[in-house]
Structure formats: structure tokens, C-alpha cells
Structure 1
Amino acid sequence: MSTLSVPQTAAATRPRVDKYAPAARRARRRSAGLGLLAWIVGIVFCLPALWMLLTSFHSEPDAATNPPSLTAPLTLDSYRVFFGEGGGASPWPPLINSLMASLFSTLFVLVLALPAAYALSIKRVEKWTDVMFFFLSTKMLPVVAGLLPVYLFAKNAGMLDNIWLLVILYTSMNLPIAVWMMQSFLADVPVSIIEAAQVDGARLPTVLLRVVAPVAAPGIAATSLICFIFSWNELLFARVLTGVTAQTAPVFLTSFVTSQGLFLAQLCAASVVVSLPVLAAGFAAQDKLVQGLSLGAVK
């Protein structure tokens, strides 16, 4: 039995050309170019921190050379001096003071900001926009403008060189920012689950802790981290209102700038150690931070 062969046309034998291939190649090249640009920008931004880290392992003469030497021998002498070897001041009291002030102020900010944000986003009070503007207006006053009244109050109240004064100040300074951030986060919480909890007899504390807080956990984590960083890095009030007992880590860093000169290697080593708690907190909460800062960005 013979089989009939169907003649193939020219269109059927011609290789198929994907008309979208050039656009896809251009998109891939554009994506690769943007990725390379992002890496370059990231490296440029990280260079000062990397240079600080490298300088912290140099001796003082090598750190003071101009131009700086990349091949200088590495040493841990600056870290030994920072941690008090050789009769220097111990860094542990300032570090503990900074940790106490940052943790307690962040905790108080969350306790106060969560109900406030709930009232401004879910169970909105009357003229809630005016309330939000009031919170924002408190950040318009320069910090240095309130330094003298705060100092006179602390002096008359006998609270100079007191870590709890810093806790109160950091709480009041970070509270407006926390309310603003958490108001936008809590606005995306579904009202239906809150109403369901209220139907089941849940009171306001239960609703906040067991319903609202788990849903808005990324936003709360982002707010906590930002408040912690702001408290940890604050220098002006801590420099003026503290002495020896309540001295914080940023104030301790200024002790490396003396009338004898700038001890650059020791200052870099101290800066690296002081930056570690913030970096550790950022790495530990980076997933929550990204979720929280992007919460509500896509509707």
C-alpha cells in the first residue's frame, strides 16, 4: 500500500520567528543593567562603613597616614583599648545605658502608639486628621530649640545624669513617628475580623493584643526597629543631660576626640562595636522590616 505525501508549503517549512524575542532581549539587558547599577550604588554606600572597619584594625600611625594605606599590617590594639585594657575607661556602662534607654523607650512607645493608631485608623475619632497633623507638628520644632527648657526642668527636678530621663525623652520624641507609621499599617487590618472578635465578647485589650497585633506584626516590627535606632543613635540630649552615671554609647564615642588629637583607629573600633547592636537588630528583623515598610504599598 502506498502512502500519499502531502506537499509542504513554503510557509510551513519556513522557520518560525518569535516577534517578541527582540523586546524580551531588550528587557533582559535593561534588567541586567539596572541590577549592575544597583550593585554599584550599594557598594558606594557601603564603602565608608567598610573603610571604617578596615581602619579599626590598623595602628594609630598607619590610620593617620595621608594618603591612607590599604596594605598596612592589621592589629587588634584599638579593640583592646576600647574594651578597657591598659587602664582605659570601660565601655560596658555606656553600652548598657544605651541598651536600657533604647529598649524601654521603644517598649513604652509601642504601648502608647498601638491604642492611638487603633483610634485613628480603625475606630476613628472625630477630626482624626487634625490629631495626625498635631503629631506631625511636634516634629517641626528643632531639637536644639527645646534643649534649654528640658535642661532646666531636669535640673530643678533633680534628674540630671539619670537614665530614666532619657527614656522619657526618647519616648516622647519617637511617639509621633510611631503613631504615624502604625496608623497607616493598622488601616490595612480587615475590620471584619475585629468585628467578629467583638461579637465573641473580646474587649479592647484582647482585640489589640490577639487580633490587631498579629495581623500588623510586620508594621509593628518596622516601627520598633526605627524607634530603637533613633534612640540608640541620639547624641544631643544624652551629651547635655548626662555625665558619668547615665552616659550612653554615642557620648562615649566623643571621648576619643581629645585635646591631644583624634585617635582615628580607636574611634573606628569603637564605632564598629557601637554599631553592632543596631546591625544585629536590623538583620534579625529584616524580613519584618521589608514587609512593614511595604505594607499597603500595593492595593
Structure 2
Amino acid sequence: MASVALPSARRRLAPAARRERRNRSLLGLLAWLCGIVFFLPFAWMVLTSFHSEQDAATNPPKIDAPLTLHGYREFFGSGTGVSPWPPLTNSLTAAAVSTALVLVLAFPAAYALSIKPVRKWTDVMFFFLSTKMLPAVAGLLPVYLIAKNAGLLDNIWLLILLYTSMNLPIAVWMMRSFLAEVPVEILEAASIDGAGLPTILVRIIAPVVTPGIAATALISFIFSWNELLFARVLTGVVAGTAPVFLTGFVTSQGLFLAKVCAAAVCISLPVLAAGFAAQDKLVQGLSLGAVK
């Protein structure tokens, strides 16, 4: 009886296994198609950046047009004499310092809202979320007037303060979801051994949620690096950032597509490098707690 039942069970399982393999293949194909769709615009931008302005402006564009570095030479100031390094330095300073401040402030806040929840912590979380409901342009005029009266226009520290306040709510939300997965038994054992709160945060919790910290830091860095509205209005020559410098390639004479693509590629490289370096931590952080 057992020898008869075993082949019949295998026959029943065979169609299910084939369906599962077919579904996995379809999902894999769909993932590749989505990846190609998202990658094609960037690949087209990189290709256009190596074309001359005449070839980049043709309709339809010439894929096999001769390649040149003229757009990159223009970006680095060979023709205009304008160096891109001050704006790039300003963007790096504002993004790095604001990200560090966001992590320093969001980590203990997330601890208080997850592991040691304060009273009415849901109201606190909703308050953090509500700060992202106001469009940034709606608060632009008050921020401009405050900065003008305080003498902070065209000051990199104003951007650092703004970027910190803008990224802090989403950082607290992300960090809280990561810290909520920390086993309470580890914290109880550390407390029994006499560890204080700073020791628990730095030496116990931080190593456990390192992927979450990396994911939060990368997202905050990207948001700060790409921000244009406040940087465009509140800065000038001294504290102008890389996105503001990029808009300078759109002039009254027209849109120089090859130069804009070359500048966009150069400005995107720091973010791409940071994402590539932390991709494993980013995936672990964003999927933390998804699978038990």
C-alpha cells in the first residue's frame, strides 16, 4: 500500500512544483523588466553625455554618434572657467553633516518610541508624520523671512538645519521599525549586568540594528543631496549646492542637452557610489523584520 501511495503523491505534487517554478520564472522576468525600465533613462543620459550638442539635439537621437568628452570638459569649467567643486563640496557638507545629526537625534527618539515607549507614543509618531504632510513650497516664504532676518541667507549651516529637520521625521519612523525587532531579553540581560542607557544604545542596540542605521543614513543622505527648492531660494554664490549648479546649465540661450547630461552624471556619482557601497546593508535594513 505504501509503495502505491508514494507514486500517486508524487504525481499530485509534480503539477504544483511545475506551477511554482513557472511563477518564479515569471516573477524573475518581471523583476528584470522593471529593472531595465528603471535603468534605461540613466543609461540614455550617460550615452547622451558623451555626444556633441548637435548629435544630442537630433530627433530621433543618434545612438551611434561619435563620442566626445566635450560635455564633461564644460562641466569642469574648461570653457566657462566656473569650477563645480565649491557646489559639490557644499552638497557633500550639507548632506553628510545633516545625516549625522539625523542619526544622532533619531536613534534615541526611536528607542523611546519602541523599546521604552513613552506615554501616547502613537500621538508622537503621528506628529512626526504630520510634519511631512505640508508641501515644502508652502513653508518656503516663512523660512526665507526668518533666514533673512537672522542673517543666514547663503549660509551652508542654514541648509544643514533645514535638511536635518526635513529628514528627521522619516528617520524616526524607519529607526523605530528597526529597533522594534531588537529582542528585549538582550536589553534585560545588559541591564542586569549594570549597563547604563548610553552603553545599551552604543554597544548593545547599535550593532544589532546596523543595517537599519545604514539604510536610514543612506536615504537621509540621498534626500539631502537631491534637495533643490530650499537650496535654490536660500543660497547664492557661497552656499550653492550641486543641484543649484546643475540648473545653471539651462540658460536663456537654450537647453544644452549634452552638457546637462554630463553634469547630471557627475552629480549623481556620489549618491550612486554610496548606494553601491551600502547596498547589502540597505537591503538588510529595508527588509528587517519582514521574515521571521
TM-score range, shorter chain: over 0.9
Choose which of 66, 69, 72 in structure 2 pairs with 1:76: 69
Q: Does 1:273 align with 2:273?
A: no
Correspondence 1:140 to 2:161: no
Instruction: Answer whether contact 1:161 1:246 (CA < 8 A) is retained.
Output: yes
Structure number with higher helix proportion = 2
Post-superposition Cα deviations, 1:95-144, rounded to whole Å, max 9, x if no partner, equal 00000000000000000000100000011111111111110111111101
Q: Which amino acid letter does the alignment assign opposite residue 40 of structure 1?
A: L
**TM-score, scaled relative to structure 2:** 0.95
Deviations 1:49-105 (A, max 9, x none): 110000000000100001111110000110011011123311000000000000000
Question: In the alignment, is residue 168 of structure 1 matched against residue 156 of structure 2?
Answer: no
1:288 aligns with: 281
How far apart are the structure 2 equivalents of 1:88 and 1:43? Answer: 37
State the match for 1:112 in structure 2: 105
The runs of 5 or more residues in structure 2 that have no matched partner are: none
Correspondence for 1:157: 150
1:263 aligns with 256
1:221 aligns to 2:214 (yes or no): yes
2:14 corresponds in structure 1 to 21
**Quick one: which amino acid aligns to residue 173 of structure 1?**
M
TM-score by length of 1: 0.93
Match of 2:51 in 1: 58
Q: Which runs of 4+ in 1 moved over 4 A?
A: none
Aligned length: 286
Deviation sequence 1:20-72 (CA, Å, 0-9, x none)? 33332332233222212221221111111110000000000100001111110
RMSD over aligned Cα, in angstroms?
1.4
Residues 160, 241 of structure 1: 8 Å contact kept: yes
Residues 98, 232 of structure 1: 8 Å contact kept: yes
Distance 1:290 1:212 in 2: 19
Query: Sequence identity, in percent?
Result: 77
Partner of 2:191: 198
- 2: CA distance, partners of 1:29 / 1:202: 53
**AA matched with 2:212:** G
**Which residue identity is paired with 1:92?**
W
Tell me if the contact between 1:82 and 1:88 (Cα under 8 Å) persists in the aligned partners.
Answer: no
Is 1:121 the equivalent of 2:131? no
**Secondary structure in structure 2 of the residue aligned to 1:211:** helix
Give the residue type in structure 2 aligned to 1:272. Answer: V
Partner of 1:90, secondary structure, is coil
Find the residue that maps to 1:93 and give its secondary structure: helix
State the SS of the aligned residue for 2:231. Answer: helix
* Residue segments in structure 1 that go unaligned for 5+ positions in a row: 1-10
User: 2:120 corresponds to which letter in structure 1?
Assistant: K
